[in-house]
Structure 1
Amino acid sequence: MKLQRTNRLRALAAGALAVSGALVLTACGSDDNTGNGGAAEKAVNNIKCDGQGNLLASGSSAQKNAMDVWVRNYQAACEQTQINYKPTGSGAGVQEFLQGKTAFAGTDSALEPGEVKQSKKVCKKGQGIDLPMVGGPIAVGYNLPGVEDLALDAETLAKIFDSKIKTWDDPAIKKLNPDADLPSTKIQAFHRSDDSGTTDNFTKYLNSAAPDAWKYEPAKKWAAKGGQSASGSSGVATNVKQNEGAIGYFELSYASGNNIPAVALDTGAGEPVEATTANASKAIAEAEIVGKGKDLTLELNYQTKAEGAYPMVLVTYEVVCDTGNAKETLPATKSFLKYAASEDGQKALAEIDYAPMPDEIISKVRKTIDGLA
């Protein structure tokens, strides 16, 4: 039976935000006791402004479009604070945070034990913690003119990205798409060249859902053979859009913003599942908090077969010090993160193809932010 579905793609409402001026930031754990410079705390349009000056953050490119909207909305209300978020990739963002260069980092993979240990040198009398703030599906976008509806399962995806399946008319793809007119076009599989939390979550899905086909350990660094690489989610999306026969993985908003069709996942449920925020939310709702203390690391269920649950998801964490944040940047950091975790901040995510955190998770995030010191 022909798969009946429509890729729900729409243009993003938010553009990139340019932030000017010099960037000056003292690392977490500073001994400076000047406070927030005397800026008055105020609330504007439901955003509670506090602190002033420049906040520098970096990391996950998957959350760039969410950050653009959050920063735009926050700075419209809080003119005394300038926020510059650089989408350098999860690995680079975590390293900059651990080097004391940023107020917080964005990462699509929770801190590893060694990174937590290292963070104790930066977070005086504390450590780095993971705050789940952004969720969403990892879309597998493709460029195959004439093929509007494409379904793939984890095993087939694993073989495509491991260069085992090399043309679009391969029997394995035909079996999943019997009514599609599949060409003999060569497959060009694009992956991330930089250390990436999106890669980590994508390979966690493949390793968990298709362990016989994907033998590589999940990691931020791409390990499979062959394929072509590009920097950042935007780089992968650009290459998929420009090259016929291409396929690549990136956060859903990059598919929507570039009008790239996305694969539906054959999970073993009754029907293949589309990459939508609603379907991703169904999968994220099955996650469990496994972090210790104030850390809110989640464990995702990549093997779910629940109807309408899209299991190839990622959660982006904002990494901060639980205690030992720089006193001159702490008020603005808390103020900005409070907005991002607020009802308004989370609502903004759903409007640009991200999945807001489930209530029981985001309520704990808000409480933890309140207690940052």
Structure 2
Amino acid sequence: MKIKRHAAFVSLLAAGTLALSACGTDQNAPQDTGQAAAPTGSADVECGGKENLVAEGSSAQKGAMDVFSQAYNQRCEGQRLAYTASGSGNGVKQFIGGQVDIGGSDSPLSEEKGEVAKAAERCQGNPAWNLPMVFGPVAVAYHLEGVDSLVLTPELVAKIFNGGITNWNDPAIAAVNPGTTLPDKKITVFYRGDESGTTDNFQKYLSAAAGDVWTQGDGKTFHGGVGEGKDKSAGVADAVGGVDGGITYVEWSFAQDKGLSIARLDSGAGPVELTAETASNALKHPTIEGEGNDLRLDLDALYASKEPNSYPLLLATYEIVCSAGYDPETAKAVKAFLTVAATDAQANLEPAGYIPVPQEFQDRLLTAIKAIS
């Protein structure tokens, strides 16, 4: 399916949409995707309550929150949500401090850091819930003259990014690419030189899917020990595009926009191309660590998944909300906004570089949203 670029989204994204500025990423809209199965388009929404909701946090979801806010204003005339992309840490801090109605974070509340207890205190003694509402795929993008199709396993990706494999015609790469002539060319690794949520998720993926090979751990700083660092997603994408033999990890849209080739990942059930459909398939049966309506995901299980036709390398961003404890006007508006975000707004996520939630997961989200009091 060809996705048409909308001018409104382009201007948003050019200004930093889907940028993990606190996490060090930025984003543009993808050009060409496979079509994901669309979730239910709408649901009953009880508009009203607080007219101007306030939210803050992860820059990764800025573009999606713009989409959500527009759909909310259209569905509930006169009601708005203002979102400040100040980074996940600030989103959690401002939510705990009662300064915002919704916190945005690319990590759930941490019990070890005391965030779970502090958030419950803010919510008048009620638990806060982590609701994953925004998902975006990460591409293993490369530029290799004469090689437009390439298969990599998680182990091979790990070895490339930790220096275990340094040449494109390495026998291990050739073994999973029969019939492909690989050049005798040095692999040039580019990584995010700034702190990046994309780096964190990429390294978590390698730890989960290729833990025997990737022992460097995770975090927002790249630990592979090889390659050249570049600032932001545009930096690594531009660098790969200018070097024959280059490779990086980058948000899907940047690989599309720069005309980079994207490796198919074989996690054990055959090579999987990155499309909206295969990324959405990874979310159909998520493992949830949280209890009840706290939908905290087990990303290790997602990243280590070997499901066929499923692309597991995704970013997930949470909306942090009170399960109860809002004043009635705020609770009503929060529920209306989240319901619209999970339904009406889903149709406009793909042009902005995100993956609509599949029906199966949407049902879980709507159940949790309805339970907010």
1:88-137 alpha-carbon deviations (Å, 9 max, x no partner) = 55445434434444332333333222331232343332233111223343
Aligned 8 A contact 2:12 2:63 in 1: no
Helix, strand or coil at the partner of 1:126: coil
Aligned 8 A contact 1:160 1:189 in 2: no
1:319-373 alpha-carbon deviations (Å, 9 max, x no partner) = 122223466754443322111112x223333555533333343223223223324
- Segments of structure 2 that go 5 or more residues without pairing to the other structure are 14-41
Partner of 1:125: 125
1:142 deviates by 2.4
1:247-295 alpha-carbon deviations (Å, 9 max, x no partner) = 33234334334443321102222x3111112112222223223311431
Does residue 97 in structure 1 map to residue 86 in structure 2? no
Helix, strand or coil at the partner of 1:160: helix
In 2, the alpha carbon distance for the partners of 1:347 and 1:222 equals 34
1:52 deviates by 1.9
AA partner of residue 55 (structure 1)? V
1:151 deviates by 1.6
Give the direction of change, closer, same or farther, for the CA distance of 1:243–1:354 in structure 2 (3 Å limit).
Answer: same
1:17 deviates by 4.0
Structure with the bigger percentage of helix: 2
Give the direction of change, closer, same or farther, for the CA distance of 1:305–1:337 in structure 2 (3 Å limit).
Answer: same
Partner of 2:368: 368
1:215 deviates by 0.9
In 1, the alpha carbon distance for the partners of 2:250 and 2:119 equals 28
1:192 deviates by 6.4
Partner of 1:3: none
Give the direction of change, closer, same or farther, for the CA distance of 1:251–1:101 in structure 2 (3 Å limit).
Answer: farther
Name the TM-score, length of structure 2 as normaliser: 0.75
Partner of 1:319: 320
Aligned 8 A contact 1:59 1:107 in 2: yes
AA partner of residue 68 (structure 1)? D
Partner of 2:156: 156
Partner of 1:298: 297
Helix, strand or coil at the partner of 1:320: strand
Single out whichever of 260-269 and 102-111 deviates more from structure 2: 102-111
In 2, the alpha carbon distance for the partners of 1:105 and 1:231 equals 26
AA partner of residue 71 (structure 2)? N
In 1, the alpha carbon distance for the partners of 2:341 and 2:104 equals 13
AA partner of residue 358 (structure 1)? P
Aligned residues: percent identity?
A: 36
Partner of 2:204: 204
Aligned 8 A contact 1:56 1:104 in 2: yes
Partner of 1:286: 285
1:121-168 alpha-carbon deviations (Å, 9 max, x no partner) = 433322331112233432222233443212211111112222333444
Helix, strand or coil at the partner of 1:15: helix
AA partner of residue 337 (structure 2)? F
Aligned 8 A contact 1:88 1:232 in 2: no
- Segments of structure 1 that go 5 or more residues without pairing to the other structure are 1-7, 19-43
In 1, the alpha carbon distance for the partners of 2:171 and 2:190 equals 18
Helix, strand or coil at the partner of 1:346: helix
In 2, the alpha carbon distance for the partners of 1:154 and 1:240 equals 20
Residue pairs, 1:1-373, within 5 angstroms? 10=3, 12-13=5-6, 14-17=9-12, 49-50=47-48, 51-53=50-52, 55-61=54-60, 63-78=61-76, 80-114=78-112, 115-178=115-178, 179-182=180-183, 184-191=185-192, 193-194=194-195, 196=197, 198-229=198-229, 233=233, 236-237=236-237, 239-241=239-241, 245-269=245-269, 271-299=270-298, 300-325=301-326, 329-342=330-343, 344-350=344-350, 352=352, 354-373=354-373
Aligned 8 A contact 1:156 1:172 in 2: yes
Aligned 8 A contact 1:60 1:93 in 2: no
1:291-329 alpha-carbon deviations (Å, 9 max, x no partner) = 114311223343333321222234332112222346675
Give the direction of change, closer, same or farther, for the CA distance of 1:253–1:319 in structure 2 (3 Å limit).
Answer: farther
In 2, the alpha carbon distance for the partners of 1:54 and 1:238 equals 38
1:1-48 alpha-carbon deviations (Å, 9 max, x no partner) = xxxxxxx77554333449xxxxxxxxxxxxxxxxxxxxxxxxx99876
Give the direction of change, closer, same or farther, for the CA distance of 1:117–1:80 in structure 2 (3 Å limit).
Answer: same
Single out whichever of 156-165 and 243-252 deviates more from structure 2: 243-252
Single out whichever of 349-358 and 303-312 deviates more from structure 2: 349-358
Give the direction of change, closer, same or farther, for the CA distance of 1:122–1:169 in structure 2 (3 Å limit).
Answer: farther
1:212 deviates by 1.4
1:213 deviates by 0.8
What is the number of equivalent residue pairs in this alignment?
Answer: 337
Give the direction of change, closer, same or farther, for the CA distance of 1:126–1:45 in structure 2 (3 Å limit).
Answer: closer
Aligned 8 A contact 2:202 2:313 in 1: yes
Q: CA RMSD in A?
A: 3.4
Single out whichever of 85-94 and 134-143 deviates more from structure 2: 85-94
AA partner of residue 192 (structure 2)? H
In 1, the alpha carbon distance for the partners of 2:89 and 2:184 equals 37
Helix, strand or coil at the partner of 1:141: strand
In 2, the alpha carbon distance for the partners of 1:154 and 1:17 equals 33
AA partner of residue 53 (structure 1)? N
In 1, the alpha carbon distance for the partners of 2:135 and 2:51 equals 28
In 2, the alpha carbon distance for the partners of 1:153 and 1:265 equals 6
AA partner of residue 322 (structure 2)? C
In 1, the alpha carbon distance for the partners of 2:98 and 2:227 equals 35
Name the TM-score, length of structure 1 as normaliser: 0.75
In 1, the alpha carbon distance for the partners of 2:45 and 2:283 equals 27
Aligned 8 A contact 2:52 2:80 in 1: yes
